[in-house]
Structure 1
Amino acid sequence: MHRRFHALVLALTPCLAFAQLAEKPSALVARRQGKVVAASSTADKKTPSLQAIRDRRQFDTIARTYNPGTPREITHTLFIVDRMNGNRVHYLNTNRYTLHEDYVRQQYLASALDHKTLASYYSAPNRRFIFGTIGWHAELKRWVYEFWEGDKLTPELLNTARQAVSSSFFAPAVFKANSAQQEAVGSTAGVETITETQILGQRSYLPLNNGSVTGRVRLVADVESDSEDDIEPYDIVVLREVPLAIPPVAGVITERPSTVLSHVNVLAKGWGIPNAYVKDAFSIFQPYDRQWVRLQVSAEGYTVQPAAKPAVPPTKARTGVVRAPHLQVTELQPLSRMRHAASAWCGSKGATLGEVEFQRKGGHLTGTAEVPDGFCVPFAHYAKFMQRDDVRARIHAALATEGFERSRVVRRKALDALRHDLSEMPADEADAAGWIAAWKTQLHGVGVFVRSSSNSEDLPNWSGAGLFSTVPNVTRDADLIKAVQTVWASVFNFEAFEARRHAGIADEQVFMGVFVQRAIDSATSGVMITRDPFDITHRNAVYVSAKRGIGIKVVEGRRIAEQSMFDARSGAVRRLSRSAEDSALQLDANGGVVETAIGAGQDVLSDTAVRSLAKVGQQLKAIFRGVEQDIEWAIDKQGRIVVLQSRPYIERKAL
């Protein structure tokens, strides 16, 4: 049995996603997550506090351990600096007091401790008390002192705490910033600071979707390579790179980290399969290549255990149920006339954007610019195209290719050729003339994005994210016609075809609408989720992933985006990673997009921008009846937030 990190007991039940982030030890968070915070064997339950700690033995008598028995355990205690009494330090016995306020009340340090006064101890620059935590971080192998992420520290307060701790604690300790604001304070104060970004960046394991599965390990250097044998739905694929898309599989292990909202990770969430980043995965999993194993992924680590090859390969329940299309609507549908019901003839993407703009005009969505104008080419146009004899014959020929059913490589090549031919076929002259007329009259002939909006996207228990094509910044008549047919042809994208088969959705059930939308030259763009994707118990949080330029590269996931988490309770913005991008996409005046060089490692969004995005996200969640949302957004060159898509955040439970 192969183990990494904490040894696990294999189970068939799903695991909740906790402890992926480098959070501060917190009794409240532990209680929320149902975690155990363990006392040491030498715990002293009588002493209220210590004024100084001389050695580790003495520390252990008043400390407790957060995440016990894991690689990220933190043995810690709370401390209070009393600025009214010469910066006197109280190291609290956490076996008696789990919260700073409990100690202040029970030791009568303050005559009154109402909500307003308590809040001031986390916000006022002239506060009497500084509340902190100090502990041994097994992951860092260092002593660390830190503060609640919502604590509005100042450089003066930080230096006061640093000096008080250094003069009363037996070992050197480093300051850990738990918010972007605290990072700035540490820099201004000239205090050695470690950040959550640094901690997460050095980890060799990140769980992206927890769960367990029995399957065959397949080491795959390049998913799209013709040299690879067929990848089967029961395979656990180990990947060197994060691909743009992937056919249905039983589990995913990647050798390079990626953001949780890359297409591959969103698909894995939707399929409910174990998914993790493991450093040096190829060498670690090499002994298991083409062997059957039981894989379990959890917050604490992963296990790989040899398993017997089943007599019949396992299959998963088919989950895809598509909406029946409404083909009676043949007129192009402008955004201004589209509401939620239009999904029946235009697909969910265009219909949802119409609903978003309607709600914005009605005052229910504030803090955003108007949704970029556009129009929908309804399902009826696609249906007419697909019913043509030449189109049907070409599709039949592709599906009848020798070896199509047996070989993934043959299928990919046949589908590539099919898409090319479909996009090049002559369009219906009347329909094409209508598209061009709407583009020139309604959108004034400006550059447009030609986007998929099918009846097989954003379904309950089925996301379909990233399976179909978008053609960016179309600027010519002929290119618009070809772009519409390219989006239609993307019904036969290899990954879409494979996912559809796996879900039990017939080709004939899929109808493709096309949303033609005015292009915006984004300064920054990205995706956000109206919940914490790492911890389902963390309410009122918004996760934001961002990069500079047009957002195509954000969802591809080939490079790490800037990742932030906003917490409504604390008001804090936590920076989880900085963008690794060294280039950005911008609109090309001649059509399409152009890649430009940028400086890597710089902040993409300010804290204010993250908070503004989070507010928009929570409004969209309310508009769509409290359903968690997966939102594509942009910020234009004028600094305005633009909503480009909002869909339900799909997350199936992994087994």
Structure 2
Amino acid sequence: MTLWGLLLLGCPAHNGSCDEANVRLGKIACVHRVPDEATWREIAREADPVDQDTITKWARPYGDASPLPETLFLDSNTYPLHWEMLREAFPDRFPGLTLEEYSRMVLDPDRKVLSSGNVALYDGPDGAFYGFTIWDDRTRPELTVTYDEVLASWEDLNDRFELAELVFVPNTSLQAENAATWDAPFQVRGQGVVTYEAYTTGVGYGTIRRLTLSQLAEAEAEGAIGFQDILILDEAPFDLAQPVSGTVTGTRQGDLSHLNVRAAARGTPNCYVPDALRLFELWEGHLARLECGETRFTIEAATLAEAEAFWASIRPDPVVLAPPDLQTDVLVPLLELDTTTAVARRDAVQTYGSKGANLATLYQRIPAEHQLEGFLVPFAPYDRFMATHLWFTAEPSGVRGESYAASIARWHADPAFLGDAGYRRERLAALRTSIDDAIVPQDEVDRIAAQILATFGTLDTTVRFRSSSNAEDALAFSGAGLYDSTSVCAADSYDADDEGPSLCDPDEPKERTIERGLKKVWQSLWSDAAWEERAWYGMDHTQAAMGILVNTRSKDERINAVAFTGHPTLDDPRYLLNAQIG
């Protein structure tokens, strides 16, 4: 038996008790009761909002299937975020918990197993009081926290919090509107008269974008938010994963909000101003300098040079792309690609992309039962397609006809494209639409179909066309989830019609032709999210190219992931997986 096995046998079971977790961790993670001020002072931290003195967080089970057995209060000095505490304090109940998983547990009505929020000591016009908030999905009004959930939470928390009777503090305008109609046994705090509040002070440069929370959710899903944006939001969102240059919200937050924890870590300004959308209306679409100060904010026009200097100061060190080999034009089976030396593997990445080259390297070193059949399409067909297809674009100087490749090169020398996020997204969207409508040469389709037949023995089996770029799967830049992969049925390219269902899958209502698959993967190199992520890491977009990994489909696959044997940037021997659902 290994030493690791012996250690596991000697460990006590993780029973969900804060007492057990505190002993095991050697520090306070949480408590189940707040019996006195000494306990409160131990678990609460100083609060930044002007009307709050100290603050911590709480969580309680929701429904019978909750993995959390008992209501608890966090030690916010040790754990400012719920999900980190739950993962470390209760690893058997929340194994490997991520922020995304935690968010679903709290916000998704189909997966909700937790209620959570803050508890704070507030300064009010009639004296100090303790209040609690409850988080809900601010982007979906129909999911605003209900009276029953607030009442159940108040009764539970109030029973455990012995310093004073808790007051419910609405943290969205809709919560406040609903609470005004309740005949409740608990007090509800009004909105008050706070006219400005800074959570992370600092300066940011970016294009002003005014969004409602529903518009923000759509923009996030489309990857249409980037570090060159300053967001003006009607409400404070639950979280904002994408780096931006600053945020102003029209409802109050809290220094322990997920939004502000990220802003503080990035050093980007984040503040509250009432009626923010109206206040910043005239700034919409303009490049500006925003400063969230201690007592007030300022905004003024900025030059592109000033903004670029700021963006360069907050970005990580640039990632240099390996120049793509655009001459090699051979479709190669995974087991036949040369990966015998470091030089060969480098050349493979520069010809076929990181995903394909890395998978070939892995397959050649593991047992056959763990391999999927497949082959690689190099960068050359993508480059040829982009260089030979002409299109017409509406530019400020008039209609212009040129190749896709020429447009990309010209855009990346254009200050308007580089500095105006709205203009850039319009250009990239037009490019993707044109690629979708373009014609792939028949000889390209035929040779890929021939390789599918040679590899899989038939044209009427579904295969996967997976993106394989030179701008992904690297140590300092995984690119996980940036580019598209899609299912393809080669037989659909030869059935003499454009009507579904697919010949490979009667449950698929649309055809999945080779040419459709090629264009879908190729155009994803120029998605908004991919451009923003490469720009954040200082990559030269004109050196990015797209190959394709073709292999068999894993039916009903649950995740796609990038795995590192060891942490890519830290001294950590554990394996790291960066995964996306689906």
Give me the TM-score of the superposition, normalised by structure 2. 0.48
Q: Which has the higher contact order (CA 8 A, sep 6+)?
A: 1
